[in-house]
Structures are given as structure tokens and as C-alpha cells.
Amino acid sequence: MIEEKHAIQIFRSAVSAVQPGHLLRQHLSVSKDSLTIGGVAFPKTTINHIYVVGAGKAAAAMAVEAEMILGGYISEGLVTTKYGHALPTSTIRIIEGAHPVPDENCVDAVTQTIKLLKKATKNDIVICLLSGGASALWCDLPPGATLQEVQATFDRLIKSGAAIHEINTVRKHLSNFKGGQLVRACNGASVFSFIISDVPGDDLETIASGPTVPDASTFEDAETILQKYNLLSVLPQSISRHIKDGIKGTIKDTPKPGDPLFDNTVNRIIGNNKMAVLEAANMAKKLGYHVHIVDHLITRDAETEAKILVDMARQYKAPKPVCIIQGGETTVKVTGTGKGGRNQHFTLAALSELNKLRQQNISDEITILSGGTDGTDGPTDATGAVVDNDTLNLVLHRGLLIEEYLKKHDAYHFFKQTNGLIITGPTQTNVMDIMIAIVK
């Protein structure tokens, strides 16, 4: 159906609007006598060294653009990105690591980044390039904990259904680098952090676990979150002991708002989900659709949000065809042993709702797409999935049981059989997810 092709086209336009090169050029520039960084002009004669560090799925693309703009003014740099996301650079080194559960490279990346930052002095500039995925790609280990114990902790936390701000609150309190602690290593240098947001509300404390941002959360908050999801009793002893020691005050907490440590630090969000949604709306209009943008971020569990979107599409009274666009990031509490991601699960749940409508002889022609702007949905090669009435016809013909695949959390293998997977490869950006409903 043409609506399926249009949905994919609209999604791709959203991703293109938040490419790092385009975004970073608005915040870095070089003129005859000065460098402008984050809106601050530095006379060239006053600059000693510029160091570039960073992490995230967009880190390599951001590093490439930083080199193109600043060229030889960069003294040294190191960024960490996900496997398969590295790009050729000249001055800035790139380390690839695992995501969402960190590996040895992620630990080594923090060690090497701290070593680089310690070269900085108060006359230097540190540029930090952050995007979604940095919380895992930069991983240091609490004293006495092994990588395997940290991996097990993160894996349980991710699968628990916890929201991203909760996950990153725990991460910050298992780290000497996150939660504003990167700035401690910079020796008073001016720090400019350019951030592509992948969290609801663009919360600076949450994005990448806020390595350059004062952190209001505490060890007590981390413990409360672990208790909320029944994880405290099943964590490795080294992890639970670290949290307890932090509560006792024997481990220094993250630096808090008002700390003079951040007097020379500037944080700038240069890209977010809203930018992607607005560009998606522009493309939908060009394709001839009336457009409705959902004005709040989608953050609840995938099945609930999928039902809401289908209901909204079915009940929409405005002139048609209409394209409903929303952004955000749903949660999924994984209990099955299948393969998939939150966007595939969302789309499969939406298909289940469409199937229920068909069984009630309600025949609205609705197309649903959900995709991650980073090109990756869960531990799969797909970024999401798309469904329509043709999908339902194929499901009926092949005897596929939608509810069984939902229960097993096996949306990937379901959509593999319906050709419903969207595969883009790495997009070099990350601003959460885009959900689209088209009503013919």
C-alpha cells in the first residue's frame, strides 16, 4: 500500500533532520580572528589546547563534523561509539564498544578519556560530544565490582521496565565519571558539552547520565529505584554494597547543583525528538496529508501506548487522509525469550488492536509505524516495523498468532515473516523514537 511507503518516507525525513553534522554546525564556527564555541567567541591568541571527548551512537559523526569545522585547532580527541558506527577521522580517535550492555572496550574508553582530560589546564577548552548510548558506552566499575557484575546489573535494570531516568540514576551512582564527575577531571578548563537528546523532556541530568551536569539525585534514590523493581535482593553483592556505602557517606556522591565545579561549564542541547517530529510533519504535509502532532512525549509501556494510538487513529474526526505523528520512548518489561525491541513490540501490539477491530467488522484503513531514530531497535538489525491491512491479510493467510508472538516478546521473528521490518542500518543519530499512524 502507498500509505506504508509514505510512512517510511516520513520516518526517514525525521531522522535526516537530526543528523549531527547539520546540528553541530550551528554551534561551532571559525572566523579570521576567533573561534566561536557554544555562542562564546574565543580570540585565537588566547586558546592553548582544544580537547574533544564524547560518547554515544552519534559520537563518530559529531567528531567528523568537529574536525571539519575546527581542523588543526583540535589538539587531541577521543570519542566512543557503538560497534559498526565508527567513521574515518584524523585527529580524534574512535573506540567502539557494546551497547546497551557495556563490554571491556567501554571500560577502557573511560580510562583513556580520563587520561586525556587530565592533560587539560584552566587555559584549555574541552568539547564534549554526547548522544544516546553514552551511558553504556562509557562504563567504569565500582570498587570491588567486576565487569560481569556490572553487565548483569545493567541487563536486569534494562529488562525491568524502568524508565530511562531511573536507569541512569542507578548508573550515575555506580560511576566515578557520570553525574557531573567528568568535569572533575578537567582541571578547571572551559567545558562545552554539545548534546543530542534521547530522553523525555531533554533532561540534562539524564542524557548520557549527565557527565557534565550537576546531579540532584542521590545514592538513596538509586536504592529506591532498585527496590521499586525488586532488583536489590538479586544484585551482585559488590553492587549492593557500593550503594549502601554511598548512603553511609563513605563514598563521595555526585556533585550537586550550585557546585562551583561547573562555573566554566556550558551544556547545549543541539538536537531532540521535537525537531524530528516537526520535520516528519513537514514531509507528511508535502505528501498530501492533514497532520496531527501529539503534543506530549510517549513514555508508558509499549502495549498501552499502541492501543492509544490505534484508538486515536480510528476516532479521528478531522478531514482525511490524516497522518498522526508522535515521539517518545516506550518501555517493555521483557518476560519472554524471543527477539525484538520496543518499536517492534509497539507495532505488533498495534497490529493486535487492528486485528480486534477487524473481528468487530470495523474496517478503517490504518497504517502504523514505530521506529528508533538511531537505526537500532533492541538487539536486532531492525529500527522498527510497519503494519497495515495487508499485514492482517498475510497474518490470516499464514495462520500467524499475533498474541503468541507478543507474549514471547518475539516481534522480530513475526515481522520477518510479514516483511514488516524497517532496516536502515546505523543512522549516526539518536533522538528516541517516532510513531506514525496514517488513516486513509
**CA atoms of 286 and 39, how far apart (whole Å):** 34
What pLDDT sits at residue 361?
86
Grid cell 533492541 — which residue? 378
Mean pLDDT taken over the chain: 96
What pLDDT sits at residue 318?
79
| Res. 320: pLDDT tops 90 | no
Torsion sign over Cα 388, 389, 390, 393: positive
C-alpha cell at 102: 557495556
Q: Give the Cβ contact number of residue 155 at 10 Å.
A: 12
Q: Which domains does the chain have, with CATH numbers?
A: 2-271 (3.40.50.10180), 274-439 (3.40.1480.10)
- Specify which residues 387 forms β-bridges with: 368
Q: Give the Cβ contact number of residue 112 at 10 Å.
A: 15
- Specify which residues 146 forms β-bridges with: none
Q: What is the pLDDT of residues 269-283, one digit of tens each?
A: 999 999 999 999 999
**CA atoms of 83 and 92, how far apart (whole Å):** 17
- Specify which residues 110 forms β-bridges with: none
**If you average pLDDT over residues 154-163, what whole number do you get?**
90
Cis peptide, bond prior to residue 260, ω within 30 of zero: no
- Specify which residues 51 forms β-bridges with: 76, 126
**CA atoms of 106 and 111, how far apart (whole Å):** 9
**If you average pLDDT over residues 287-313, what whole number do you get?**
96
Q: What is the pLDDT of residues 394-405, one digit of tens each?
A: 999 999 999 999
Q: What is the pLDDT of residues 234-253, one digit of tens each?
A: 999 999 999 999 999 999 99
| Res. 135: pLDDT tops 80 | yes
| Res. 363: pLDDT tops 80 | no
**If you average pLDDT over residues 105-110, what whole number do you get?**
98
Q: Which helix (H) or strand (E) holds 193?
A: strand 190-196
| Residue 410 pLDDT class (50, 70, 90 cuts) | very high
C-alpha cell at 103: 563490554
Q: Which residues contact 332 (CB under 8 A, 6 or more apart)?
A: 161, 301, 302, 342, 345, 409
What pLDDT sits at residue 161?
86
Residue burial 3-39, b: 16+ Cβ < 10 Å; e: rest: bbebbbebbbbbbebbbbbebbeebbeeeeebbebbe
DSSP state string for 253-286: PPPPTT-GGGTTEEEEEEE-HHHHHHHHHHHHHH
| Res. 41: pLDDT tops 90 | yes
